[in-house]
């Protein structure tokens, strides 16, 4: 019996489905090993297709997969964009090839395209495996650039050990909006100005969004055109490498937000209709189009598509030293219906109608490749469906990922803030959302990510304090709305981080209560960058209350890291008091106490503890250094006492406050 079924007996009726899923994967591995020797060799397609320098011949071999094309020619600055000078030859299996001696002028940063002829006409495209593209600022046209610098980037991160990073404390970032200026930030600016902030806060991992090239900045990087090219709007490939290298020397892991769930529909810049067939990399017709995203959907059952994407996984790990991936849109990948309008209320939904078995297999292959290339790589699945086995080993019947995003947690917080008064908050609802996760499947918990802050919504801080943040964030200014907002902001983040999963994520800037929302420049806002930036000056100004939240976040992350909370067993509920709105649990030998009541501070609040002894304060959200009211003496040591043979503590449980105790 598969381990997955032993862990979850409710899966027993689906044993045949799970075994078929596993056999389908194993069959593909056997085919790959038979035809290509190993999956490692199979995933070197980027060294076979695209432009690759041949030292012996002193020139460039260019190959492209375009099975429906009738002709291909390389055009560029080096040949005056003349399609008669460097035609490609069809060498079989849809592969086209040509050789260009370096004596003919093709060199580093040469701009070029490939002209593709098909029964439907002629079109200029960017090579599918291009490593670098640039956009003309006047015409907005994208062109491929040959990336072949004389000196290779020199890595100095050899001492970085991903194993030592431990449970991921993730700082989710976007390079372009990482600066305060109204414009697009760069890799260099991020390396110099943001990485030190990450280190100071104590996060051990950054998650970079919008890495691969995307024509429309406002897509947040999710409409990818060139899968092997880092976005040039932020800098060069070597500047991205420098960013990763510096992060590693600071002990910070770097994971990439990788988008293999869909691709931009643009034909000029992307893969769409590359060979003129309309369905080369993607499914044909409506099956190949995502209506909600207005983008193209990959056909994971095609070998060349599979090799393209798997080689892409390998490329980012090896070439740029990324430490893993957050796989975007996994629910869309898994199902023919892409999760649209489907409630996953029965196990049939995971194994019967609607499941795309080629896609499931692709995700298994992707996790296999990542672990073969970098065994300690971090793999996170953005799946809202709850697919069983997502984060279980493939041999156990799973898909081989390490973590799933706890997507229900931020949704729950926003729902509470939007629809319920503070008095209506139920401890059972909060606890159930934070503790509800599949056995043996690790979760990345978060109170908010970039999704919650997008235009049309607001950050948690702005939900709590709204326009009052514009006028009452000076430390000398007393305001009840701001007091409430600061208190709950701290509590929401601490309870989420400590009880919600085995990893934690924060969207950068939100730790200090970044106001307002995110909005990229677009026609609807007159192409403004006002909301596509991070206002670091707010937290750097010691006269403002933003520093309270920042200092609390720093203390919280330190506590979680030093006490190995996220690698401890799941939180154990101690007390759920709906009358007083008090929630208490134990995790990692620490006692977490939350009083969510807006008004009820309780002297001599008594609760059971698992061990007798003396308990000291490790963290107090009501501390004045965190913008609290200092109503509790943290020097007090609470000693347990016995009643009916059980151990109890008695504390002053002040309202809208969280405490963390440690037994000494």
pLDDT at 624 over 70: yes
Given a cut of 70, whether residue 133 has pLDDT beyond it is yes
Give the pTM: 0.97
Predicted local confidence at residue 453, as pLDDT: 74
- Span 9-40, pLDDT tens digits: 999 999 999 999 999 999 999 999 999 999 99
Residue 455 has pLDDT above 70, yes or no: no
Question: Phi, psi at residue 585, to the nearest 5°?
Answer: -150, 165
Query: Residue 254: pLDDT above 90?
Result: yes
- Work out the average pLDDT over 249-267: 98
The string of pLDDT tens digits covering residues 575-585 is 999 999 999 99
Q: What is the pLDDT of residue 464?
A: 96
Is 382 known to be catalytic? yes
**pLDDT at site 85:** 97
CA–CA dist 282, 30 (Å, integer): 25
* pLDDT tens digits for range 497-525: 999 999 999 999 999 999 888 889 988 89
Q: pLDDT tens across 387-439, in order?
A: 999 999 999 999 999 999 999 999 999 999 999 999 999 999 999 999 999 99
Compute the distance between CA of residue 6 and CA of residue 202 in angstroms, rounded to an integer.
Answer: 38
Please tell me the distance from the alpha carbon of residue 434 to that of residue 424, in angstroms, as a whole number. 18
Q: Mark whether 269 is an active-site residue.
A: no
DSSP 3-state of 648: strand
Catalytic residue among 7, 323, 382, 448: 382
161-172 pLDDT per residue, tens: 999 999 999 999
| Average pLDDT over every residue of 295-308 | 98
Give the pLDDT of residue 523: 87
pLDDT confidence of residue 516: 85
* Residue 312 CA: distances (Å) to CA of 284, 309, 318, 644: 23, 5, 10, 62
Q: How confident is the model at residue 454 (pLDDT cuts 50, 70, 90)?
A: confident
How many CB atoms sit inside 10 A of residue 646's CB? Answer: 12
Closest CA to 201 of 531, 535, 522, 560: 560
pLDDT of 101 > 80? The answer is yes
Q: One of 213, 299, 328, 502 is an active-site residue; which one?
A: 328
């Amino acid at each position: 019996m598969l381990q997955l079924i032993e862990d979850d007996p409710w899966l027993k009726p689906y044993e045949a489905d799970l075994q078929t899923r596993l056999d389908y994967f194993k069959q593909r591995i056997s085919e790959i090993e038979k035809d290509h020797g190993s999956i490692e060799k199979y995933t070197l397609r980027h060294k076979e297709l695209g432009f690759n320098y041949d030292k012996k011949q002193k020139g460039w071999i260019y190959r492209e997969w375009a099975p429906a094309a009738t002709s291909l020619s390389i055009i560029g600055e080096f040949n005056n964009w003349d399609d008669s000078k460097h035609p490609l030859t069809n060498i079989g299996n849809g592969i086209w090839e040509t050789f260009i001696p370096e004596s003919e002028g093709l060199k580093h940063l040469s701009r070029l395209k490939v002209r593709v002829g098909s029964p439907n006409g002629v079109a200029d495209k960017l090579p599918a495996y291009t490593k670098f593209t640039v956009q003309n600022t006047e015409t907005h046209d994208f062109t491929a650039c040959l990336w072949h610098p004389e000196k290779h980037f020199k890595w100095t991160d050899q001492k970085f050990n991903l194993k030592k990073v431990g449970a991921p404390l993730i700082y989710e970032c976007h390079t372009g909006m990482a600066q305060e200026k109204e414009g697009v930030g760069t890799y260099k600016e991020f390396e110099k100005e943001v990485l030190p902030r990450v280190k100071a806060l104590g996060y051990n991992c950054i998650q970079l969004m919008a890495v691969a090239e995307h024509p429309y900045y406002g897509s947040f990087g999710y409409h990818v055109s060139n899968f092997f090219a880092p976005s040039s709007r932020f800098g060069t490939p070597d500047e991205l490498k420098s960013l990763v290298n510096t992060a590693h020397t600071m002990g910070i892991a770097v994971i990439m937000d990788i988008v293999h769930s869909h691709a931009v529909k643009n034909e000029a810049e992307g893969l769409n209709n590359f060979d003129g067939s309309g369905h080369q990399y993607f499914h044909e017709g409506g099956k190949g189009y995502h209506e909600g995203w207005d983008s193209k959907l990959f056909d994971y059952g095609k070998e060349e598509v599979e090799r393209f994407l798997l080689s892409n996984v390998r490329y980012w790990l090896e070439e740029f030293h990324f430490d893993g991936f957050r796989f975007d849109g996994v629910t869309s990948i898994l199902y023919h219906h892409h999760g649209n309008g489907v409630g996953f209320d029965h196990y049939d939904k995971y194994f019967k109608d609607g499941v795309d078995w080629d896609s499931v297999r692709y995700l298994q292959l992707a996790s296999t490749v990542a672990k073969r290339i970098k065994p300690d790589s971090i793999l996170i699945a953005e799946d809202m469906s709850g697919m069983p086995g997502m984060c279980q080993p493939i041999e156990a019947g799973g898909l081989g990922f390490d973590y799933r995003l706890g997507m229900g947690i931020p949704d729950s917080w926003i729902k509470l803030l939007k629809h319920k008064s503070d008095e209506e908050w139920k401890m059972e609802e909060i606890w159930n959302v934070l503790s509800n996760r599949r056995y043996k499947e690790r979760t990345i918990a978060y109170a908010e990510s970039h999704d919650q802050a997008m235009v049309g919504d607001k950050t948690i801080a702005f939900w709590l304090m709204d326009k009052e943040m514009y006028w009452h964030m000076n430390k000398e200014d007393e305001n009840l709305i701001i007091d409430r907002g600061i208190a709950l902001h701290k509590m929401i983040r601490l309870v989420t981080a400590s009880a919600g999963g085995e990893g934690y994520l924060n969207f950068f800037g939100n730790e200090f209560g970044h106001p307002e929302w995110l909005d990229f420049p677009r026609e609807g806002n007159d192409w403004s960058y006002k909301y596509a930036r991070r206002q670091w000056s707010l937290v750097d100004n010691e006269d403002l209350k933003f520093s309270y939240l920042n200092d609390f976040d720093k203390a919280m992350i330190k506590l979680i890291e030093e006490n190995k909370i996220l690698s401890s067993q799941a939180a154990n509920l101690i007390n759920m008091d709906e009358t007083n709105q008090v929630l208490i649990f134990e995790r990692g030998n620490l006692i977490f106490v939350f009083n969510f009541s807006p008004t009820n501070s309780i002297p001599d609040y008594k609760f059971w503890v698992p061990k007798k002894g003396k308990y000291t304060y490790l963290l107090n959200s009501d501390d004045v250094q965190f913008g609290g009211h200092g109503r509790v003496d943290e020097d007090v040591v609470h000693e347990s006492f016995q009643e009916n043979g059980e151990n109890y503590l008695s504390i002053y449980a002040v309202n809208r406050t969280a405490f963390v105790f440690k037994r000494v």
